[in-house]
Structure 1
Amino acid sequence: MTPRVWLAAALLAVAGAAVHWGLPALAPAARWALFVFAAAVVGWTVLELDETPVALAAALALLAGGSTSAGHFYAGLGDEFIWLLVGAFVLAAVLQSSGLAERWALQLVASAATPAALMVRLTGFIIATAFVVPSTSGRAALLLPVFLALARAVQAPRLVRALALLFPSVILLSACVSMLGAGAHLVALDFMGRLGARVPGFVEWIALAAPFGVASSALACVLILRLFLTRDERRTPLALPRPERAPLTRAQWGVVAVTAATLLGWATGSWHGVPAPIVAVGGALLATVRPLTGADLKGTLRQVEWNLVVFMAATLVMGEALLASGAARGLAQALLQPLALERLAPAALLGLACLVALLSHLVITSRTARATVLIPTVALPLAAAGADPALMIFVMAIGSGFCQTLSISAKPVAMFASGERAHCAPRDLAGLALALLPGLWLLLMLCAAVLWPLQGLG
């Protein structure tokens, strides 16, 4: 066996002993839930296994050990967040195949006179895509053709490197502006609901998270301009090719109408009372009416990231088992005493939560898996020490968006950093992440300590 396998086996043995002898007061179902949870974390981190099979195996193990029921296991795929995700994926696939995103992006930046203006406009456009495309990898696939077209046009290696850093950085940091921006958000909302906290709606989520998402994306843009381009390079005149000016086709107008109607339905949910998942499914059906948009349901469903959908369903089952069995509460109490978290001031608890959320990508590469791990092991123990549970969960969900230190830290980073030739080096990613970290920590602290409590969270 390899050293990695030996390490995994040793960690599982330690976890099993700790759960069995360290938490004797917990029910067997709760202890089994904690052990399965630990095994999933080891699979994701030490063994670096694919996150979906690990999560699905964990859900099956929880069912076999009595930590969850067959009804709750099946309910994972029927959860409202799963239907919201599927509907949004279908809508995003139709939007991508229509070519509208690439066309609009190139039209937006065509008149940019300098690299600085180009990157500012791109930052705004990338942020906007978070409202219609679920998952960061989906947005990366949508925007990769835009990057490649610009890379061919500018013919300046240092500017291409800056663009290769800008695209994934803004994709990842701006994902938080929408509740559909990442699967981690849906995991956080599910935990909030199960704990009895108020669950933000589509518009309320934007009001809470958009300030952080926009400010952090702007910070990344400024740092990339300052660190990777000289003053003269930032001001060098650009001559970008003129984009296509032909009028939109009938099918493209149909895609525009369906997308706008779906976004309007999500935004006005509190008025008409139709849940966001139902709006998403309705929008997906309209988007796959061939006479209207040129797309059909059968072909579009092939483009849905079913791997992420199944992963989300399995993680929801894991979250339900941890809470319902009492495992999360027992773990929080067990961590509270030896770490003396209750002695820390509220500001220290918040600062610790923000730091852990921002650094967790160095250990757990999947954003949804990070939320699944951090909420019961960090957010709930800090809540037991005196912090607000909903606020801690929200901090974990938002802070986990910082994950561009390594090319393996997130799929968008790998997509833009690699290719026919490397567009940016590992030292570029690490240098940008190191420069971003202090600013992001301060920004997250400011939002969590001031802005979000003023908005009713915490």
Structure 2
Amino acid sequence: MISRLENQRPKYGFVAALVNRFSTAALGIISAHVFYLMVISSASQLDYPAKVSLYAFLSAMTLWIATKIAAGWVAVSLLVFIVLFRAGEPELLYQSLSEEIVWLMVGSFIIGEAVRQSGLATRFSDSILKYSSSKNRVLFGITTALFTSAFFIPSTSGRAALSMPMLKQLGAKFTAKEQSVLAIIAPVVILMSTSATLIGAGSHLIGIGLLEKTVGQSISFVQWLIWGVPFSLVVTFISVVIIKLMLWPKEASQEFESRQSINAALKKKPLGKNEKKTLAIIFFLMAGWVSESLHGYDIAFITVFGSVLVMLPNYGVISWKQGIKAVSWNLILFVAAATALGQVLVDNGVVSWIEKGMFGFLHLFGEAPDWLVITIILLVTVTSHLYITSHTTRAIVFIPSFILFSQSMGMNAVTAVFLCLIGMNYCITVPVSSKALLLFYEEGEISYNPKQLAKVSFVLAPIYILVMLLFYFTYWHWTGMQL
């Protein structure tokens, strides 16, 4: 009897350890929620709907990062929580599926499937592999292609959508752990390269438009290139190096199969019929995205239009069933609900409350030296993605305030707007902070862990700010930027 009990002790000891581990994690999450409740309850400037919305948003952020609960379930459940506690109408849930990002992603998945089935994805991956003898060279090829795309495709989500099928094709050459790192590297490179050009993000155009209307000044396309390209090159390189050092499996092999076998498989062949069709549609999409201000149709509509073309009966590249099957509906529901969670912060006045507090704080530094003022501005803008998930909304909310702040403090409005826009381009802490990140999150074939993303951001965010400060006091100063 005694020996039987002794034999069972390891089993019970394992169970006890498992329970203790679970209890520790659960206790930490519960403690965080109690802390949120105490802090938010004491915020007298917020009304009841705003408090409930802020609590739900913070809860979502915590559960996304600290647990393995399905992200879509968390987002939808907390939308239901907001409605149940009378902080929003049921339409908040229904209308979440009408968000622009939802339809943009539906169209992107369908077009990505057409790129894959047409053979373009294989052709692109083969062209990289042809000149690559190691995985490091493949990463360099991917980074170069993604960085260059910023000058031709004026949408981070558009660049992510077109790159996804190629990355899936290349992902077959990597292990599962390496693929999860690749799924972080790709959107981070897309986001870091955004600052290189004026057309890199819609927020740039919004910011310049507000600058022109308010103070009659602007930043030309060429001037933006002069300021933006060197900075983007540096932060992109640093980002890739840091991600690789932090996350890349140490035991992973760097070599591919022999070059002879690769070269033998990469025989040059002419474009097929479906490849030509897909290329034509991609060029149509790029033209439509670039000329948005002329025809008035937004990027999401142009993308859905392109997806309809690739599924044309008898003339398209893929069938309707193939296109719909290619859409990650799990991810679509998550994006819809998560976007609504971010929007409700704006609608219920939480963002306005945060904005007032921040700019009241900024005015305390009116007599401070330039380096301190710029540091505070960068801290505000670089962290803004944590509570305003939409890049466009961040520009609409913050740019007018920063223009007024710069005028009241006697600063150069052009410099203030440029620094703010570059600061707001940093948005890699949580998946919901960027459409490019969302496209690679929980996609299935090539996706990443949000804990790894948060870990990378913890290191990259201060480096990003330091690089901006270094550029301001050196290269940007030398090229005419003055506060």
> TM-score normalised by the shorter chain: which range applies?
0.5 to 0.7
Structure 2 letter corresponding to 1:85: M
Q: How does 1:68-107 map to 2 (within 5 A)?
A: 68-107=88-127
Which residue pairs with 1:372 in the alignment? Answer: 389
Which residue pairs with 1:217 in the alignment? Answer: 236
Structure 2 letter corresponding to 1:283: G
Structure 2 letter corresponding to 1:310: L
Partner-residue secondary structure (3-state), 1:241: helix
Identity of aligned residues (%): 15
C-alpha distance in 1 between matches for 2:47 and 2:462: 42
Q: How does 1:163-242 map to 2 (within 5 A)?
A: 168-175=184-191, 177=193, 214-219=233-238, 240-242=262-264
Partner-residue secondary structure (3-state), 1:399: coil
User: Do structure 1's residue 330 and structure 2's residue 353 form an aligned pair?
Assistant: yes
Which residue pairs with 1:423 in the alignment? Answer: none
C-alpha distance in 1 between matches for 2:263 and 2:75: 46
* Residues 172 and 403 in structure 1, CA contact (< 8 A), matched pair in contact too: no
Residue 249 of structure 1: which of 272, 292, 313 is its match?
272
C-alpha distance in 2 between matches for 1:403 and 1:317: 15
| Deviation by residue 1:187-216 (Cα, 9 ceiling, x = unmatched) | x89x99xx9999xxxx99x97987765543
Q: How many residues align?
A: 400
Q: Offset at 1:148?
A: 3.8
Partner-residue secondary structure (3-state), 2:52: helix
Residue 375 of structure 2: which of 341, 348, 373 is its match?
348
Which residue pairs with 1:422 in the alignment? Answer: none
C-alpha distance in 1 between matches for 2:447 and 2:292: 39
C-alpha distance in 1 between matches for 2:62 and 2:134: 47
Q: How does 1:16-31 map to 2 (within 5 A)?
A: 16-20=37-41, 22-31=42-51
Partner-residue secondary structure (3-state), 1:246: coil
Which residue pairs with 2:84 in the alignment? Answer: 64
C-alpha RMSD of matched pairs (Å): 5.5
Q: 1:331 to 1:115 in 2, by over 3 A?
A: closer
Q: Could you tell which deviates more after superposition, 40-49 or 286-295?
A: 40-49
Q: 1:66 to 1:275 in 2, by over 3 A?
A: same
Q: 1:138 to 1:9 in 2, by over 3 A?
A: farther
Structure 1 letter corresponding to 2:23: T
C-alpha distance in 1 between matches for 2:30 and 2:446: 35
| Deviation by residue 1:324-364 (Cα, 9 ceiling, x = unmatched) | 22223334556788x8884374312134247758xxxxxxx
Q: 1:288 to 1:307 in 2, by over 3 A?
A: same
Q: How does 1:9-158 map to 2 (within 5 A)?
A: 9-20=30-41, 22-111=42-131, 120-127=140-147, 131=153, 139=163, 142-149=166-173
| Deviation by residue 1:140-197 (Cα, 9 ceiling, x = unmatched) | 6641432544x69xxxxxxxx9999778534422245569xxxxx89x89x99xx999
Q: 1:104 to 1:336 in 2, by over 3 A?
A: closer
Q: 1:103 to 1:290 in 2, by over 3 A?
A: farther
Structure 2 letter corresponding to 1:69: E
| Deviation by residue 1:28-83 (Cα, 9 ceiling, x = unmatched) | 22222222223223322344533222121222222233333344443321123322
C-alpha distance in 2 between matches for 1:323 and 1:431: 28
* Residues 33 and 325 in structure 1, CA contact (< 8 A), matched pair in contact too: yes
Q: Offset at 1:238?
A: 6.4
Q: 1:309 to 1:392 in 2, by over 3 A?
A: farther
Q: Offset at 1:275?
A: 2.5
Identify unmatched segments of 5+ residues in structure 2: 1-21, 196-200, 214-220, 249-253, 407-412, 432-437
Q: 1:318 to 1:211 in 2, by over 3 A?
A: farther
Identify unmatched segments of 5+ residues in structure 1: 153-160, 180-184, 358-367, 419-425
Structure 2 letter corresponding to 1:260: F
* Residues 114 and 238 in structure 1, CA contact (< 8 A), matched pair in contact too: no
Q: Could you tell which deviates more after superposition, 245-254 or 137-146?
A: 137-146
Which residue pairs with 2:26 in the alignment? Answer: 5
Which residue pairs with 2:434 in the alignment? Answer: none
Indicate the structure (1 or 2) with the bigger Cα radius of gyration.
2
Q: Offset at 1:121?
A: 3.4
Structure 2 letter corresponding to 1:27: D
User: Do structure 1's residue 269 and structure 2's residue 292 form an aligned pair?
Assistant: yes
Structure 1 letter corresponding to 2:428: G
C-alpha distance in 1 between matches for 2:242 and 2:348: 46
C-alpha distance in 2 between matches for 1:32 and 1:196: 35
Q: Offset at 1:276?
A: 2.0
What is the TM-score normalised by the length of structure 2? 0.62
Q: 1:259 to 1:212 in 2, by over 3 A?
A: farther
C-alpha distance in 2 between matches for 1:413 and 1:433: 24
C-alpha distance in 2 between matches for 1:433 and 1:24: 31
C-alpha distance in 2 between matches for 1:111 and 1:221: 20
C-alpha distance in 2 between matches for 1:250 and 1:3: 58
Q: 1:433 to 1:13 in 2, by over 3 A?
A: closer
Q: 1:165 to 1:5 in 2, by over 3 A?
A: closer
Structure 2 letter corresponding to 1:296: S
What is the TM-score normalised by the length of structure 1? 0.65
